[in-house]
Amino acid sequence: MRNNTDNKSKQVKKSIVLTPEFVAENIYQNLKRFPFKNIIDIGCFNGSLSKPFTRKHNLKRIGLDITKEYEKNFDIFILKDFLETTKEDFKGLNIDLVLCNPPFGINKEKGELYPYLFIQHIFKVFGENIPVVLIAGHWFLSNSNKRMKYLNNANITKTTTLHKNTFSACNVSVESDVIYFNIKQKIVHDFLEFEKPKQKKQKFKTVAFNEKQMIYINNNIKNFSGIVKKLLKEEYKDFPH
C-alpha cells in the first residue's frame, strides 16, 4: 500500500453512494475489448465500479481512496486525497485507464463540483489523452458556462444517461451520467435502463446441539441470539453491531 505522507486524518462520510453492479458491468462491456493493463479506480471505496475488470487476465487493479477499509480488494492501494496527488505518486504504475465515481456535490473550500476538480486533476496527473470513465450528476454537464467551455475542449467520446433510480440501493435519487473521455466508441450516446438490485437470499448457518444441550437451552437460555452475538463480538473484535 502506498501511504498518505502527510497523515491527514479525513472524515469519510458514511453515506457513500456505490456504483451498482449493472452500471459497472455496462462500463466493462463497453471497454473489455481494449487492452488495458493497469487501471486505477479513484475514490474506489470497495471497488464496485472496477470489480468486473478483475475478470480480465493480467490486469492490475489499483485503488485510491481516503479510506482504506477495502484496501485488500485491490492489487495496489493508495491511501491519499486524490486532489493532493502529483505525478510522483503514480510513478512506475503505467496507468492506462482511469475509472472514477467521485462525490457529486460541491467542495466547499474550492467552491467547485468534485467531478470537475477530479477530472481536471486526472488530466493534470495522467496527461490529457488518458482514457477516463467518470460518473457525475447530470448538472455537471449543464449548469455552468465555465465547465461547459472546459468540457467542449475535452475529448468526450460517449455519454450514458443513467436512470434517476440507479443509486436507489443507497437511498439516493439523482440524475446522472457515465462520461467517457478519450475512448473511441461506436455509439456516442445511450441510455441505461434501471435494473432493480437482486434480492440476496439469506443464508442461514446451522449449529448442531445434542439432545441434553437442547433441553438446557430451551429451559435456561432466554435470549439465545443475543448471547451468540455477544460471544462473536468478544471473539471477533470487528464483528459488526
Ligand X SMILES: C[S@@+](CC[C@H](N)C(=O)[O-])C[C@H]1O[C@@H](n2cnc3c(N)ncnc32)[C@H](O)[C@@H]1O
Residue 177 CB, nearest distance to ligand X (Å)?
Answer: 14
Candidate list 1, 12, 228, 232; residue touching ligand X; CB under 6 A: 12
Residue list 174-193, contact with ligand X (CB under 6 A): none
Q: How far is the CB of 45 from ligand X (least distance, A)?
A: 3
String of contacts with ligand X for each residue 105-124, x by CB under 6 A: --------------------
Near ligand X by CB under 6 A: residue from 17, 39, 133, 178: 17
Residue number, 70 or 229, with CB nearest to ligand X = 70
Q: How many angstroms separate the Cα of 9 from the Cα of each of 16, 68, 127?
A: 18, 12, 29
* Total residues in contact with ligand X, by rule CB under 6 A: 21
Query: Whose grid coordinates read 455519454?
Result: 159
d(CA 198, CA 142): 33
Q: 132: closest CA among 82, 169, 170?
A: 82
Work out how close the CB of 230 gets to ligand X at its nearest, in angstroms, rounded to a whole number: 31
Output the smallest distance, CB 134 to ligand X, in A.
11
> Which of residues 95, 102, 119, 147 is near ligand X by CB under 6 A?
102
* Least gap, CB of 23 to ligand X (angstroms): 8
Q: Does 16 bind ligand X (CB under 6 A)?
A: yes
As a whole number of angstroms, the distance between CA 79 and CA 2 comes to 6
Quick one: cell of 182? Answer: 478519450
- For ligand X, what does the binding mask look like between residues 35 and 74, x meaning CB under 6 A? ------x-xxx--xx--------------xxxx-------
Contacts of 204 (CB under 8 A, 6+ apart): none
For residue 63, give every residue at least 6 positions away whose Cβ sits within 8 Å of its Cβ, in sequence order, or none: 40, 41, 44, 47, 50, 70, 71, 73, 74, 76, 77, 78
CA atoms within 13 A on the CB side of 156: 18
Backbone angles phi, psi at 188, to 5 degrees: -95, -20
Q: Does 82 bind ligand X (CB under 6 A)?
A: yes
Task: Return the number of the residue (109 or 238) whose C-beta is nearest ligand X.
Answer: 109
Q: Which residue of this chain has its Cβ atom nearest to ligand X in the complex?
A: 43
Closer residue to ligand X, CB minimum distance, 36 or 77: 77
Q: What are the residues whose beta carbons fall under 8 Å from the beta carbon of 15, sequence distance 6 or more?
A: 170
Q: Where are the alpha helices (H) located in the chain, listed in sequence order?
A: 21-31, 114-126, 139-142, 145-153, 211-220, 224-235
Q: Which residues bind ligand X (CB under 6 A)?
A: 12, 16-19, 41, 43-45, 48-49, 64-67, 81-83, 101-103
